[in-house]
Structure 1
Amino acid sequence: AELSNLVGVFINTLAIRNYPSSDKTFLDYLQEVKEHALSAYEHQDYPFEELVEQLNLTRDTSRNALFDTMFELKTLEQQALQLEGLTLNSYPLENHTAKFDLTLDAVEQPEGILCSL
């Protein structure tokens, strides 16, 4: 809420470890993910880069230091921005380079949540 009047990209990477297994139902696993996420939010102000540094992980430029899967929830307010003599619109950007082994994107839109895997 404090950042709502600022311009820029504010990304908060929250590393969460979950363990799916065949003995859990999907709802049990989902509940576990929820509990881990809520617990992780207690530490969301801790800088991700500092965490990686404190863990003293070996860096590999071809991989992320901590995780191979990503879930992104995007709550973008996509609206045309008008300045005197200038109109700015957003356009889809096709990116065919994978940053993670598996990424699930969820984007809030007026008609619902659009997901892509």
Structure 2
Amino acid sequence: MGSAAMDVFGDIAVGYSVSGHRIFPSIRYASRSPYDPPGTLSDERSMVVGRGSQTNATSRWGDYSDLTVDPSDDCTFWYTQEYYTVTSDASWATRIGSFKFPRCGTTPTTWLPIIVK
């Protein structure tokens, strides 16, 4: 599942899972400012690149996701999503990270790994 949020300046970010034949389940986000052309997103970035895939069709990953703006500054986006660190039946992990748009000030991007077993 994906999530979306908007900061105090009208900047929008969307977070989502990606996977494919050559892409392990990973986490990405994209953004747009109020000045971008309508209907477009820019600046797709990887929050974490997965290193494994799911081998069991009955388990699920990626159902839980949340992107929200920190109410303490109305600028910091916090995002959480699931991904795979190793190929297994159902050993997905959760990552929590934060980021800001440039006009909200400079804060280093932070990623916190949380392993769920």
The answer to whether TM tops 0.5 is: no
Structure that is richer in helix per residue: 1
Structure that is richer in strand per residue: 2
Q: TM-score range by the shorter chain?
A: under 0.3
Bigger Rg, which one: 1
